[in-house]
Amino acid sequence: MGRTGTSLSVNIAGISLSTPVLPASGTFGYGDELVETLDYAYIGAIVTKTITMRPRQGNPQPRIWELESGLINSIGLQNIGAERFKKEKLPSLKKIGKPVIVSVGGESKEEILGTLEYLCSDAVAAFELNLSCPNLGTGRIVAEDAKAVSDVVATARSMTDIPIIVKLSPNVSDMVEIGVAAQKSGADALCVANTYKGLFFDRKMNKFHSGGISGDMIFPMTLRHVYDLYPHIDIPIIGLGGINSGERALEMFFAGSSAVAIGTGLALNPGLPMEICRFLEEYLAFNGIRSVSKLTGSRNEKKETAV
pLDDT in tens, 136-147: 455 678 999 999
pLDDT in the model for residue 302:
77
Between 243 and 137, name the one with better pLDDT.
243
**C-beta separation of 241 from 266 below 8 A:** no
**259-262 and 237-240: which strand pairing?**
parallel
- The Cα–Cα gap between 27 and 34 comes to 11
Q: What is the mean pLDDT of the chain?
A: 93
Q: How confident is the model at residue 296 (pLDDT cuts 50, 70, 90)?
A: very high
pLDDT in the model for residue 94:
92
**C-beta separation of 201 from 164 below 8 A:** no
- pLDDT tens digits along 171-226: 999 999 999 999 999 999 999 999 999 999 999 999 999 999 999 999 999 999 99
* Residues assigned a catalytic role: 133
pLDDT in the model for residue 84:
98
**C-beta separation of 249 from 200 below 8 A:** no
- The Cα–Cα gap between 283 and 247 comes to 10
**134-135 and 140-141: which strand pairing?**
antiparallel
Residue 133 has pLDDT above 80, yes or no: no
- The Cα–Cα gap between 64 and 193 comes to 19
Q: Is the peptide bond before 62 cis (omega within 30 degrees of 0)?
A: yes
**C-beta separation of 124 from 99 below 8 A:** no
Residue 22 has pLDDT above 70, yes or no: yes
Per-residue burial over 232-264, b if 16 or more Cβ lie within 10 Å, else e, is: bbebbbbbbbbbbbbebbbbbbbbbbbbbbbbb
Mean pLDDT value of segment 145-169: 97
Nearest CA among 191, 262, 249, 252 for reference residue 224: 252
Q: Cα–Cα distances in Å, from 229 out to 174, 215, 294, 295, 297?
A: 9, 21, 18, 16, 11
Work out the burial of residue 216: count CB atoms within 10 Å of its CB; fewer than 13 is exposed, 13-18 middle, 19 or more buried: buried
Which H or E run contains 141?
strand 140-141
Q: How many CB atoms lie within 10 A of CB 95?
A: 9
Q: How confident is the model at residue 4 (pLDDT cuts 50, 70, 90)?
A: low
pLDDT in the model for residue 136:
44
**C-beta separation of 116 from 34 below 8 A:** no
Between 4 and 127, name the one with better pLDDT.
127
Domains of the chain are 10-60+76-198+213-305 (3.20.20.70)
